[in-house]
A = this chain, B = another copy of it.
């Protein structure tokens, strides 16, 4: 029996250019990516805000994937968060052309009453003050995951630390984690995250995959080898969505469930980058996930050492 997942973050329109193509006003935003991936495994309630320029087909798209969109506030006369960016080379990082926050600038998430008892919460990358506001509105969840970004680490470090102390899992990329603790060592950064009281520090490493640290050790997975990446936008949020969606479908949250969830998240991320926006994740199936999972698992298999 799956638990309900609450995902709070941005719902956006993206203009994306990569060496493989260019698309305008496609569905974007951390909460959109996360919700679509999570919804393959567990029921999802999304909370976000858009303007009345937001194409209804994007709402239909989310609903078709099984995401409950009642928590998306539509502001009359407002403009939806609109991001434009471009990837080149190894596509590990985007160059932002413009960021029009629109109604997202004054986003103040109000969690509908019937979402407040959700056991699984993904705080996608928004201002740490808003993440705290969400945490104040919800009952004690079984599992809360917090993402963030370099901007908040620079400008709102203390508040971000407060958020991290109140959640179970930190989800950051390697540069962010090291920046947060001013270290050049990822294991040191992970140790400091765990010292905040977090159960897991999950580090996203782009084309190098992901690595989880906990008091029970570390677990690392490579990215699924793909010859062609169309658009890396949303890979991290899709990873997070698959991860929390899978965990919400489990009866126990032991260490192995987290390892499996990292694998599922990686599998989801490997799909999202194969097309623009959420096109490919919307086409995911459990069977496709299983196939990628097994491929990744094979890439991790090794026998004990034999030393003469």
Contacts and interface: CB of A to CB of B under 8 A. Distances in A.
A91 interface: yes
Given A250-B306, A308-B249, A187 B227 contact: yes
Nearest to A19: B184
B209 A186 contact: no
Name the interface size band of chain A: 35 or more
Interface string A255-268: 01001101110000
Contact of A208 (B41, B178, B205, B303): B205
A109 interface: no
Contacts of A307: 41, 249, 286, 289-290
A217 interface: yes
B289 A297 contact: no
A305 interface: yes
Interface in A212-266: 213, 217-222, 225-229, 249-250, 256, 259-260, 262-264
Contacts of A227: 185, 187-188, 191
Of A178, A187, A209, the most chain B CB neighbours within 10 A belong to A187
Interface string A173-195: 00000100000111110110000
B300 A300 contact: yes
A290 B250 CA distance: 34
User: Copy number in this complex?
Assistant: 2
A304 interface: yes
Contact of A260 (B2, B228, B305): B305
Nearest to A40: B307
A302 B260 contact: yes
Nearest to A184: B90
Interface in A106-148: none
Nearest to A261: B305
18 contacts: A90-B178, A90-B185, A185-B226, A185-B227, A185-B229, A219-B300, A220-B222, A220-B299, A220-B300, A221-B302, A249-B307, A250-B306, A260-B306, A263-B305, A290-B305, A293-B305, A300-B300, A300-B301
